[in-house]
Amino acid sequence: MRLRTLAAFIAPLAIATAADAQSVDLTGAGATFPYPIYSKWFSDYAAKAGVRINYQSIGSGGGIRQLSEQTVDFGASDAPMSDAELAKAKGGKVLHFPMVLGAVVVTYNLPGVPKALKLSGVVLGDIFLGKITKWNDPRIAALNAGVKLPAKDILVVHRSDGSGTTFIFTDYLTAASPAWAAGPGTGKEVRWPVGLGGKGNEGVAGQVRQIVGSIGYVELAYARQNKLAYAEVQNSTGAFVAPTIEAITEAAASAAKKLGKDTDYRVSIVNAAGKKAYPISSFTWLLVYQRMTDAAKAKKLAAFIKYALNEGQKSAATLDYAPLPGALTKQLEARAAALANAK
């Protein structure tokens, strides 16, 4: 099954969470990156278990802030919390639960270019630094032999809010572009030298869809939903790779081997080893207090996490995400059980 409209998955959730606020069992907030699949999971789980989950797709930075202030039962982020952020969390120790794998794609609006452009980390770094300003720049042309590129200005579109998608993208640029590493670096929010801001993956996708000559970065599902072109990106072996489920899974394979049962799961998989690995891949995390103040909510949240790690993974590929490796799922199930039993 190919990706259907996001509204098809979000509408049932809106009914479950907005029409009867008194019936909400759990509240969460955070990343827009996993919103399409979280929406489906929350809707399906409400039908299966009768547990209603209200999730605000406000960006990873907002999710971390709300969790830290204890205004939600769980947060969600595509960027793991830093040690400083963990120290500020008012509810004690925060656990990271990787829930699914996804890809950030470099999307662009360039009518007349019939096939996916090939872009390297070095070239992307210079585009987002404002050093490459025309689509027919020789450095882009060199990567795309035989492609007729227009002499058109490049307009960069980036996130305007604190964003895990930005963290993943800038993490890749930092790994692959020395110029970017020496400048803005990695972060949920960075100082963008050029460009327009858009709020959420939705906002960036909307800007790119409307503006000819633009380039941005969004989670794969948003590019496909909006029928946007996206690039093949050069990985650590020099290969140019499209963001397929197989390529995202390949990126996670080496990281999964390093994740023992005592890990805190805060790991980056950008620019991973492997010729077939898509280089802008990432886990996305649920953020949960180890000891929630409400025992009943802790049990409900643990049960949902177990559902998402098992039955929920079966729907990952239909929404352009990659399921977690089986060995990792078993580790996380044990962690969820401990959450339910925490005193």
pLDDT tens for each residue of 89-128: 999 999 999 999 999 999 999 999 988 999 999 999 999 9
Residues in CB range of 199: below 8 A, 6 or more apart: 59, 159, 160, 161
pLDDT, residue 273, reads: 87
pLDDT digits (tens, 9 = 90+) for 291-308: 999 999 999 999 999 999
How sure is the predictor about 339, in pLDDT bands with cuts at 50, 70 and 90? confident
Reply yes or no on whether the pLDDT at 257 is more than 90: no
Return the DSSP state at 215.
E
Tell me the pLDDT tens digit for each residue of 130-174.
999 999 999 999 999 999 999 999 999 999 998 999 999 999 999
Q: Grade residue 321 by pLDDT with cuts at 50, 70 and 90.
A: very high
pLDDT averaged over the chain? 90
CA 290 vs CA 10, 232, 262, 324: distances in Å: 29, 40, 14, 22
pLDDT given for residue 88 in this prediction: 95
Cβ atoms of 200 and 62 closer than 8 Å: no
Sequence-distant (≥ 6) Cβ neighbours of residue 118 within 8 angstroms: 143, 144, 231, 232, 234, 240
- Fold observed for domain 104-247: D-Maltodextrin-Binding Protein; domain 2 (3.40.190)
Q: How far apart are CA 330 and CA 343, in angstroms?
A: 22
Q: Which two tokens stand for residue 43?
A: 């809707």
Percent of the chain with pLDDT over 70: 90
**What is the predicted pLDDT for the residue at 206?**
95
11's tokens = 């509408």
Domain ranges within the chain, ordered by starting residue = 6-102+277-341, 104-247
Which pTM does this prediction carry?
Answer: 0.86
How many other CB atoms sit within 10 Å of the CB of residue 321? 25
Burial class for 2, CB neighbours closer than 10 Å (0-12, 13-18, 19+): exposed
Q: 6-102+277-341 and 104-247: same fold? A: yes
Averaged pLDDT, 79-84: 94
What per-residue confidence (pLDDT) applies to 47? 96
Q: What is the pLDDT of residue 253?
A: 81
What is the secondary structure of 141-183 as a DSSP string? Answer: HHHSTT------B-EEEEESS--HHHHHHHHHHHHH-HHHHTT
Tokens found for residue 205: 């996708």
Predicted confidence (pLDDT) per residue in 8-40, tens digit: 444 444 434 443 444 779 999 999 999 999 999
Residue 96: its pLDDT value, please? 95
**Which residue type does 157 have?**
V
The residue whose two tokens read 């996916």 is 116
Q: What percent of the chain has pLDDT over 90?
A: 79
Instruction: In whole angstroms, give the CA distance from residue 334 to residue 179.
Output: 42
Q: Please give the Cα distance from 214 to 211 (Å, whole number).
A: 6
Check residue 326 and give its pLDDT: 83
- Parallel, antiparallel, or unpaired for β 281-289 and 240-241? unpaired
* pLDDT of 139: 98
Please give the CATH topology (third level) of the domain spanning 6-102+277-341: D-Maltodextrin-Binding Protein; domain 2 (3.40.190)
CA distances from 58 to 30, 66, 200, 202, 254 (A): 5, 10, 7, 11, 31
Neighbours of 130 (CB within 10 A): 13
CB count within 10 Å of CB 196 equals 17
